[in-house]
Structures are given as C-alpha cells and as structure tokens.
A and B are shown apart, each in its own frame.
Chain A
Amino acid sequence: MLDVELRLARGAFELDASWRAPTPGVVALYGPSGAGKTTLALALAGLVPAEGRIVVDGETWLDSSRGVAVATERRRIGYVFQDARLFPHLDVRDNLLFGARRTRESGRGPTLESITQLLGLGSLLDRRPQSLSGGERQRVALGRALLSNPRLLLLDEPLSGLDAPRRLEVLPYLEVLRDHYRIPMVFVSHQYEEVLRLATHLVVMEAGRVLAADTPAALSLDRRLHSRIGSEGVGAVLEVEVTRTDGPRGLVTVDVDGEALHLPVAGADVGARLRLLVLARDVILATAPVQGLSVRNALRGRLESLEPEDELHTLATVATGRHRLLARITHAAAGELSLAPGMTVWALVKAGSLAAHAYRRDRECDAPT
C-alpha cells in the first residue's frame, strides 16, 4: 500500500495531495502541466521538502507530525528523470552500477546481466552517455534505477523527451517492469494513452490538488476525468480476459459479463488479460437486437443514465452487468428513440475501433530486442 498525504508551498504554487493505492501496482499521476505532478514526485523522493505523510509498504518515509523525514539517499527509490541524468564522466556500465554499489543489502536486487538483457543494453555497456540516443539514455536511466533495487520506482514523464518511435521503443519495457518485477511504480504523465497502457491506479491532478483517484476503469466513467481528457478520448475502460483465440490472424474473443466481444489482437493467448478503451463516439445504441449489419459486437445492457454532454450530445451509460459502457449520441437520437434510464439497449461497436485501444496487461519478457 502506498499512503501519501503531502502539503507544500513553492512561491505562489501550493500542493495539497492525498491518495492511497494498492501495491504492487502502477500509479499514474495524470494532469495538465502545472498541476503539480512532478513536484509531487520530487516530494515523494524527498528532493523537495514537504509536510505530511508518506508510507510505502509499511515503511514510513515522512511523518511530519512525528518529526520523521528519511533522507532521499536512504529512501531506496529509483527515480527516472525526464532528462535521464546519466553521469557524463562514467560509461554505461558504471552508470548502471552506480546505485547497485550503494545498496546496503547487496545481492538481493536484479543483476547487471538480467537488467542488461531485459532492456537490451548489452551493446551499450562500454559507451559514454553522450554517444547514446534519447531512447537509449532513458533505457539506461531505467536500468540504473532498477539496479539500485528500489522499494518504489518514480518515473517522471520518462517518455516526454522522446519522439514517437522512441516512445514505442521504451514503453514496452515499462510494461515488462510492471508485470515482471512487481516493483511499486509511480509515474507522471499528461498522456491519457500512456496512462491506459501502464497504470493500475490513476490519480487525476489539477492545480496542486487531487481531482479524483481510483482505478482507470472506474474513473473512465467519471465526468471529472472527462473534463481532463477531452471529448475525443471519452470512453469506458473494460478489463477483460481472452476466452478464445481464432486462428493465426489473431481474432480473439473476450468475455464481457457473459457476452462475447470480438477483436483482432496479435499474439494474445487464452487467459491473457486485456484493457480496452471503448470510445463513447464509437458506440452505437439500438433499442432492439439488430440484423443485417456488419457489426458483430453487440452487448445487451440496461441504460443506466443519460447525461447531456454539450449542446449536441448526450452521454449514455449502459450497464452490461459488472461492466459499463459509454455511448455518445445526439440529443435528437435520444429523443427519437425515447431513451430513458432503465431501458434495455444493445451497444454496438466495431472490432476495429476496439482493437485501436486494446492494451495487454500481462506482458512477461516479450519486449522487443
């Protein structure tokens, strides 16, 4: 369990943030720039002074009411900075081992060999940081943090300094870390896509405060998050499991409250866990089972609520059981169909739009090499 309650003032900026999150897991601090995400991460690391309380898996790092404040160098954190911050006078090997050599309980953390293999750093060990690409630097910074055998890994927008191809190079490694090493992670991001790929717990921040904190699935239905991500990204997040795979083309079937959704996902086996973002704009509602359509995915559910979204649109929440879906429809359509809460409706969604936002949840060591 991560238990965080921090207050600090820096000039005109005030941070007052409290949240709890289960461990192991990945907490995303999500919000616009200036929301205080990085400041919160720095305070977790003890790099900026703060009041309050930080408890990481039962270990107290900060408790100002009892005068406890563990120094940064004793917190055993792995911090991956936006700008990597590799030591320019050391080669990659010595950078990687910098923290490992200072870890008191030696021999218990990951080995240089395993990290080198995991992050694909074998050919870089004798290089100087100056000669590395941005993506390589971030991978080395990640390896350096991991080798210090941290109790908590803090990632401050580790991908923000990278262009799109480099992002795709580093992101899978972060997913492997999440699923393979089970080190509690807190990462700062202003990209919803990144959050959905990595986070198990989401803390939405704005102007130094916590707007909402919960699982991505729960928050995906929350209007407070919608106002942050913009209408294009609004959609329900479903945590599902693959129940059937269909031949080599990779069409898989997942279970949603006893009903089947079909979508193409390459390389997923039966039992694989997926997170789907079903965009509200891609969901069609029908008041009766439909025939003669090419859409194969139709989930039967109960219309739970209708909330006006803007002058033109209504956001409909459909409960299929344990799961919820969001559908964006026009006021006109809602009126024409006489939609009202409690009605039985069918939510239709194309396989292609599901596949565009399907994220694997349990990557073992299958990162690209």
Chain B
Amino acid sequence: MFTPAEADALRVSLVVSGGSVIANLPLALVVAWLLVRKPGALSGALGTLVHLPLVLPPVVVGYVLLMVFGRHGVIGAWLDSAFGLRLAFSTLGASLATAVMTFPLMVRSIRLALEGIDPGLEAAARTLGAGALDRFVSITLPLMLPGIIAGAITAFAAGLGEFGAVITFAGNLPGITRTLPLALYTALQAPGGDVVALRLAVLSITAGVIGLLAAEWLARAVRRRRGG
C-alpha cells in the first residue's frame, strides 16, 4: 500500500507529533491552570509567551529554537556536553519544534475546559475533606477530561502538518525528521514527483480527518458517560 519512503514519512510524522503531545500535556495543564486560577501580570506575560507561536512565522520559531537548543545554543551546548544529547536535526528535535508550535492549541483547549468548571465544586470537595491534590485528581481533572482529550487530539493532528519550524530546526532527514509535509515538499522539488506528492497529500488529509473525527468522538463519549 505504501512505498518505504511513504511509510517512513508516516512513521516519523506519528512519532514526532505523538511525542510532542506527550511532552506538552503536563506542561499545558500547569500553564492552563496558572492562566485561569492565578490571574495577574506574571500570568498575563506567560499567556502572551505561550501564544506567540500562533502569530510568528514558524521559521522564526525554528530559528529561535536553533539559537537556544542548537549545538552552539545556550541550552543546546550544555545538553551536548552534559548528556551528549543533540536536539537539532534529530527526531526528538522535530518533536520539540512541533511541541512549541502546537502548545497554544492545547493550552487553549484545556483552559476553556478549566474555565467551565465551577470553583464551587472544589469548595464543596474541601468541605467533604478533600485536600488540594485530592480535589485536583478527583474533581478538577475528570471534569476537564473532554477538553484535555480534544486539545491533545487537535494538537496531534496539527502537529502532523508542522512544516516550517521542523525543517528549520530539525532539517529534512529521511527516516529521522522527514515528516509527511516535508516528504511532500521534497517530492514536489524532484522531477516527476507529482504522483508521489498527490499520494502524500491524500495521506496527510486522511490522517488529519481521522484525528479530528477521533477528537469529536472521544469528547462525545466522555460527555455521554457522565450523562451531560
């Protein structure tokens, strides 16, 4: 069904985007919680920073990542010398670039879910003897679940298509950082690559549609389970 190159691109895309979602989830929860529950100047600045990738050209994000996490970047050099870890031009690096780009989507979705929760429910849980962590785990988190799931899947689907930041920071290495859009771009550059490009485009569209349908279906399933 797939050529080895297509299978590679699909695999890289899934790994890169999946990795970015897993890395983003805990951080997005913390940031969304801060934005909703601790409003203030600091929180406002954090909100701006987090949403910056939405308005910046992705190439700029990739370039900034290169400066910070590249081999000669502030953190990149340290990671290299301390752990021998090189992010630039690696699958992990592609994941990082995708994570930064899709982070606002996830935060937005989780934040909306959190804003929809009546703080009175947490107060009620307090009166019933639930401490802070207990309240978060037994009340807040389950009530946010549809938003978290929707955010994760939207971010995943968007991550499959991330181009500019990935190619700038992680390059276009077949089997390592060449995701579906990068493979599509490469095919278009090559003479006679039209058919390959079309196949990759259909594959990308299918993956995106499946992702969005899954998000919708999961969110609905959660809502149905709680009878709302």
Measured CB to CB, the residues of A under 8 A from B are 45, 47, 71-79, 81, 83, 85, 87-89, 98-99, 102-103, 128, 130-131, 144-145, 148, 154
Contacts and interface: CB of A to CB of B under 8 A. Distances in A.
B129 interface: yes
A267 B185 CA distance: 88
Nearest to A77: B127
Given A77-B127, A89-B142, 20 more contacts: A47-B123, A71-B126, A72-B126, A72-B127, A73-B126, A73-B127, A73-B131, A78-B127, A79-B124, A79-B127, A87-B124, A88-B121, A98-B125, A98-B130, A102-B128, A102-B130, A103-B129, A144-B128, A148-B128, A154-B127
A85 B121 contact: yes
Contacts of A83: 120
Contacts of B138: 98
B191 interface: no
A88 B124 contact: no
Given A85-B121, A89-B226, A102 B129 contact: yes
A99 B227 contact: no
A148 B129 contact: yes
A87 to B, nearest CB: 6
B166 to A, nearest CB: 38
A87 B121 contact: yes
Q: Which 5 A-B pairs have the closest CB atoms?
A: A99-B128, A128-B227, A102-B129, A79-B127, A85-B124
Contacts of B131: 73
B9 interface: no
A102 B134 CA distance: 10
B77 interface: no
A95 to B, nearest CB: 10
Interface string B100-138: 000000000000000000101101111111110010001
Contacts of A87: 121, 124-125, 139
B143 A73 contact: no
A184 B195 CA distance: 79
Interface residues of B, number: 20
Contacts of B228: 88, 128, 130
B222 to A, nearest CB: 9
A99 B128 CA distance: 4
A81 B142 CA distance: 22
Contact of A128 (B134, B143, B226): B226
A126 to B, nearest CB: 11
A98 B138 CA distance: 10
Given A102-B134, A128-B227, A85 B128 contact: no
Contacts of B123: 47, 72, 85
A73 B120 contact: no
Contacts of A145: 127-128
13 contacts: A47-B127, A72-B127, A73-B128, A73-B129, A85-B121, A87-B124, A88-B143, A89-B143, A98-B125, A99-B128, A102-B129, A130-B228, A144-B128
Contacts of A148: 127-129
Contacts of B127: 45, 47, 72-73, 75, 77-79, 99, 145, 148, 154
B121 A99 contact: no
B124 A81 contact: yes
Contacts of A131: 227
A74 B129 CA distance: 6
Contact of B130 (A47, A73, A154): A73
A115 to B, nearest CB: 14
A128 B226 CA distance: 7
A103 B139 CA distance: 17
A211 to B, nearest CB: 28
- Among B121, B129, B138, which residue has the most Cβ atoms of chain A within 10 A? B129
A334 to B, nearest CB: 53
Interface in B149-185: none
- Among A71, A76, A102, A131, which residue has the most Cβ atoms of chain B within 10 A? A102
